[in-house]
Chain A
Amino acid sequence: MAGKIELSVNRTQHSVISDGEASLLSVLRNEIGLTGSKYGCGEGQCGACTVLIDGFPQRSCITKLWSVAGKAITTIEGVEHDGKLHPLQEAFLADDALQCGYCTSGMIVSAVGLLKASPNPSVAEIVEFMQGNICRCGTYPRIVAAIQKAAAEMGGGR
């Protein structure tokens, strides 16, 4: 049954009326209007919907709304700070690590989680961590390069 749920998204409080069983993705996109997180499969298999929950990448399409009440949710819209792009966003642009860009939000948010856990990841670590994110346009090698570039930019470079 629908009820009021308090959400903290990108450091802003939102009060939404929704069924707690609804997916976080659907509420982010349709109730709060943050459409940067994408629907790709609804099954947790492609990573296009990835958001950070208390700093950890999660698939918002299979995350029930009730489970994230009161937790800190970060979407792609919250990655940029005060009009300044995150080094990952800069690197994706500079390395042309996208074509249609539909996977890009999920890629960048996942990579934010990766660099938080491992500021200086090897290619093998990047591949393992990002294995659940699909880019049908096939820009994987560029994404790996962009993540390494951003890691170096952020001071984690070897």
Chain B
Amino acid sequence: MARWEDGREKEARLKPGPTGDSGVAAAEVEFERYEMREGAVHQFELQRRDFFKALGGGIAILVAVRAPLATAVAAQESGGRGRRGSEEIPETVGAWLHVGEDGGVSVFTGKVEIGQNIRTSLAQAVAEELRVPLASIRMTMGDTEKVPFDMGTFGSRSTPTMGLQLRRAASAAKDVLIDLAAKKWGVERDKLAAEDARVHDPRSGRTASYAELATGQQFSQTIPEEDPLIAPAKWTIAGKSIEKVIGRDFVTGQHRYPSDTALPGMLFGKIVRPSAFGATLISVDAKDAKAMDGVTCVTDGDFIGVAAPSEYLAAQAAKRIHAEWKSSPQPSSDGIFDYLKTHRGKGQDYDEPKPQVAGSIESGLAAADVKLQQTYAVAYIAHTPLEPRAAVAEWKDGALTVWTGTQRPFAVRDDLAQTFHLSRERVRVLMPDMGSGYGGKHTAECAIEAARLARASGKPVKLVWTREEEFTWAYFRPAALIEISSGATHDGSVTAWEFHNYNSGSSGIATPYDIANQKIEFHPSDSPLRQGSYRGLAATANHFARETHMDELARAVKMDALEFRRRNLKDARLLAVFEAAAKAFGWSDRKKEAGRGFGIAGGVEKGGYLATCAEVRVDSASGEVKVERLVSAFECGAIVNPEHLRNQVEGAMVMGMGGALFEAIEFADGKITNPHFAQYRVPRFGDMPKIEAVLVDRKDLPSAGAGETPIMGVAPAIGSAIFDASGVRLRAMPLVPKGLKTAKA
């Protein structure tokens, strides 16, 4: 069976389990199948004696997470006596930190840094609770040998889940240090305070540094998640715009990304790809390549690859391999939406999604003065992280180490272990801060390929996918076909809302509007392309359809688009961002002129509240559409780092413009036909409108993630603005891949 088929089968096998990220998010966030998650709870292998051996003496705090397969671990007395003896650590440790004898703070988390700046924001959270300078914190992230198991960095969970766990660990460590000082001085602990990495006794003026207090200790404690925390309103380190940590390395070219990893004697890999998805190998002739000096060829089933002493030689060797493939006809991007509607997903063993129903659509429509029925479509798009998939694999004494760019180091470790029939303990995956992911780097293909070549050649091998491979052999954001049928009264109340999403997923599928009669359903399709996570998942498609339709309904009842939302919203947080965006944008003062249009859209997803306003200019002669201005208001609870949050919101808007305006994967017969930046247009400098992010800081609410949700409002706001400017309603993303005229035709 082709590896392509293997990959697809594997996705289909993934079963939505009862747990969310790290087992704590289940109640808060609904995950969907395309997030590619697994439900297992894993052993944290590092033993107590090992981490003191590795880090020296000091104070270690481990955070036990709630998980369905393990009972919550109660607070332990000093000495770290776990339930099964002093040397054992509970199975469900989510994160841990260590205060060393030099006062340095080492933080260990399975979350990874991919440009969202959690290396900075998580360190800020620890510094805040522990009362230490930011510079004393060392973050170890995504190294499967050193950090506790983590499901992966996705679903906007790093801030609400890992941020909270680390804050609690830091808070507990501070308490331990205060206890130590209290014991040392023979005073009551609640008379003492901690600040700037020292414990102070205000009455006597005595102070002791954390380093002094930690020296000679081998103290470990496992804490539950519910420890008191510093209220965001009192934050002094968190909540501030602190520069990206190790930022200097990034502007000087010194930071080592996964693709920059180099080992002595390392070879360079190159894969010979099948002619099309699902193609099977008929014959292969590798003798010319095998004759080259220093070149290793691997032909194993449908896998064909080479390893050579230089990238250039690897490419030359791959060219000299003559492979013949057999492929079969497959659906193409033309006609894909009919295909998705008529080809229901099959062979899946996950729970069938059930429609969400309230009231009765029939009676809702009967009560309506205006009825609308429309179909919306969203094309497959590619993540195109600027750093393609990359891996360096090294075998030593039967154990495998792989440096690779991934959002799920532990999943990659498990895939490697399974592929090479190794125990997990024999596989280590390290994830240096990588060149972005956007949900696109959840899988292990590149790591497995590099490891195969390294095993065959007996040397470490680096494999970096080409841009064309990245466009072709990764996975895509699912295409969507969405049908909406609705009704509203003349006074602007939506009375009926029926919503069907084919293929793209259930994220953000619920309407935030207060509608008595609803039926909302996700229908899995048999996607011809491999598809998976993407920033915001299906929420972008669902928001595009829903908010565009709301704009159409508003116009049908002759009501201002913002007023129409007010009329149907009870959610105060969503209303607040609509008002904030409208105010910053000047929605009520907007001046209508020929060729200029305005649109507004919003929604709630993953704990973040968003509203976006757009202004576009349409050149009626050329059909050119220029987005002139985007304003988004975003609220995600208490803000941890305002400048980095602003950057995320702006970046999500820019990325959202690509899918909104021109990004689309084209394919036919198992081949991607536009797998290059010259053919697949992504946003560039010249596409930039004036962009403004309005941040609504709610210090009274827990922090939510922010990397994904701000992408969702861009397409519907722009689409409605194009209608406002031109009278042309566009219901397919991308809206104007070739300008408005083509779109009209």
Residue positions of A touching B, CB distance < 8 A: 18-19, 21-23, 26, 29-31, 33-43, 45-46, 48, 75-77, 79-80, 85, 89, 92-94, 96, 98-105, 108, 126-128, 130-144
Kindly provide the distance from the CB of B544 to the nearest chain A CB, expressed in whole angstroms.
18
Whether A79 touches B252, Cβ cut-off 8 Å, given contacts A35-B262, A42-B467, A127-B686, is yes
- Bits for B371-396, please: 1 = Cβ < 8 Å to A, else 0: 00000000000001111100000000
Assess whether B310 is in contact with A18, with CB atoms less than 8 Å apart: yes
In the complex, what residues of A have CB within 8 A of residue B436's CB? 99-100, 102, 136-137
Question: Is B387 in contact with A100, judged by CB distance below 8 angstroms?
Answer: yes
Most B CB within 10 A of own CB, among A30, A39, A76, A77:
A39
**Contact between B654 and A138, CB atoms less than 8 A apart:** yes
Q: Which residue of B lies closest to A139 (CB)?
A: B651
| Complex Cα–Cα for A100 and B688 (A) | 19
B257 an interface residue at 8 Å Cβ cutoff? Answer: yes
A interface footprint on B326-345 (CB within 8 Å = 1, 0 otherwise): 00000000000000000000
Chain B residues with Cβ under 8 A from A26's Cβ? 310-312
- Chain A CB count within 10 A is highest, among B262, B386, B387, for B386
Residue A136 contacts which of B251, B311, B650, B682 (CB distance < 8 angstroms)?
A: B682
A144 / chain B contacts, CB cutoff of 8 Å:
685, 688
Interface residues of B in 684-731 (CB under 8 A from A): 684-686, 688, 691
- Tell me if B262 and A38 are in contact (CB < 8 A): no
Chain A residue at smallest Cβ distance from B656: A138
Contact indicator B684/A134 (Cβ below 8 Å): yes
Q: Within the assembled complex, what's the spacing in Å between the Cα atoms of A94 and B271?
A: 41
Query: Mask for B251-268, Cβ within 8 A of A = 1, else 0?
Result: 111111101101000001
Any chain A CB within 8 A of the CB of B114? yes
> Within the assembled complex, what's the spacing in Å between the Cα atoms of A45 and B386?
11
CB of B655 closer than 8 Å to a CB of A: yes
Least CB distance from A120 to B in Å reads 18
Can you list 7 A-B pairs with a CB-CB distance of less than 8 A? A31-B310, A35-B253, A96-B244, A99-B648, A137-B436, A138-B654, A142-B650
> Is B678 at the interface (CB under 8 A from chain A)?
yes
Known: A35-B256, A41-B677, A102-B386. 17 other contacts (CB 8 A): A18-B310, A21-B312, A35-B253, A36-B252, A36-B254, A38-B259, A80-B252, A89-B252, A98-B244, A100-B114, A100-B386, A102-B387, A136-B386, A138-B654, A140-B684, A141-B688, A144-B685
B466 within 8 A of A: yes
B-side contacts of A127, CB under 8 Å? 685-686, 688
Q: How many A-B residue pairs have CB under 8 A?
A: 177
B15 within 8 Å of A (CB atoms): no
A29 to B257, CA, bound (A): 12
A75 in contact with B243 (CB, 8 Å): no
Known A99-B647, A141-B691; contact A131-B253, beta-carbon cutoff 8 A: no
Q: State whether B676 touches A41 (Cβ < 8 A).
A: yes
Chain B residues contacting A98 (CB-CB under 8 Å) are: 115, 244, 247, 250-251
Q: Check A93 against B115 for contact (C-beta < 8 Å).
A: no
CB–CB B259/A39 < 8 A: yes
Across-interface contacts of B467 in A (CB, < 8 A): 40-43, 45-46
Contact A29 B255 (CB under 8 A): no
The residue that A30 contacts in the complex, of B253, B268, B650, with Cβ under 8 A, is B268
User: Shortest Cβ distance from A50 into chain B, in angstroms?
Assistant: 11
Residues of B with C-beta under 8 A to A137: 115, 436, 651, 654-655
The chain B residue sitting closest to A65, CB to CB, is: B312
The answer to whether B683 has its CB under 8 Å from any CB of chain A is yes
Contacts of B126 in A (CB 8 A): none
Q: Which 10 A-B pairs have the closest CB atoms?
A: A36-B253, A138-B654, A100-B115, A102-B435, A76-B253, A101-B250, A138-B651, A45-B677, A99-B115, A22-B312
The answer to the question of B438 belonging to the interface, with a C-beta cut-off of 8 Å to chain A, is yes
Q: How far is the CA of A101 from the CA of B114 in the complex (A)?
A: 9
CA distance A128 to B653 in the complex (A): 21
Q: Chain A nearest CB: distance from B692 CB in Å?
A: 10
- Interface residue ranges of B637-652 to A (CB < 8 Å): 643-644, 647-648, 650-652
Which of chain B's residues have a CB closer than 8 A to the CB of A79? 252
- The chain B residue with its CB closest to the CB of A90 is B251
Are A126 and B248 interface neighbours, CB within 8 A? no
List residues of chain A with CB within 8 A of the CB of B654. 137-140
> Does B677 lie within 8 Å of A131, measured CB to CB?
no
Specify which chain B residues have a CB less than 8 angstroms from the CB of A39 in the assembled complex. 259, 388, 464
Expressed in whole angstroms, the minimum distance between the Cβ of A18 and any Cβ of chain B is 7
Q: B678 and A103: CB pair below 8 A? A: no
Q: Judge if B618 is at the interface, Cβ distance under 8 Å.
A: no
Residues of B within 8 A of A45 (CB): 467, 676-678
Residues of chain B lying within 8 A (CB to CB) of residue A134: 386, 677, 682, 684
Contacting residue for B677 out of A22, A35, A43, A130, CB 8 A: A43
Q: Do the beta carbons of B243 and A48 come within 8 Å of each other? A: no
Tell me, in angstroms, the Cα distance from A124 to B256 when the chains sit together. 33
A127 and B626 alpha carbons, distance in the complex (Å): 15
Contact yes or no, A131 B648, CB < 8 A:
no
Whole-angstrom CA separation of A88 from B255 in the bound complex: 17
Q: Are B647 and A96 in contact (CB under 8 A)?
A: yes
A21 neighbours in B (Cβ, 8 Å) = 312
Q: A42-B466, A99-B647, A99-B651 are in contact. Are A104 and B268 (CB under 8 A)?
A: no
- Given A99-B116, A130-B685: A19 and B312 interface contact (C-beta under 8 Å): yes
CA gap between A79 and B251 in the complex, in Å: 10
Q: Is the CB of A101 within 8 A of B115?
A: yes
B682 → chain A closest CB, angstroms: 6
CB neighbours of A46 from chain B (8 A): 386, 467, 677
Chain B residue with Cβ nearest A138: B654
B253 to chain A, nearest CB (A): 2
Tell whether B125 is near chain A: CB-to-CB under 8 Å. Answer: no
Name the A residues within 8 Å of B132 (CB-CB).
Answer: none
The reply to whether A85 and B251 form a contact with Cβ atoms under 8 Å apart is: yes
In this complex, the member of A42, A99, A127 whose beta carbon has the largest number of chain B beta carbons within 10 angstroms is: A99
The docked-state distance in angstroms from the alpha carbon of A102 to that of B386 is 7
Complex Cα distance A48/B676, Å? 15
Task: Let me know if B117 is at the binding interface, CB within 8 A.
Answer: yes
Q: How far is the CA of A104 from the CA of B252 in the complex (A)?
A: 9
From B116, B248, B386, contact of A48 by CB (8 A): B386
CB proximity of A140 to chain B, nearest CB, Å: 5
Q: Which of B592-608 contact A (CB under 8 A)?
A: none
**CB of B538 within 8 Å of the partner chain:** no
Q: Indicate if B434 sits at the interface (CB-CB under 8 A).
A: yes
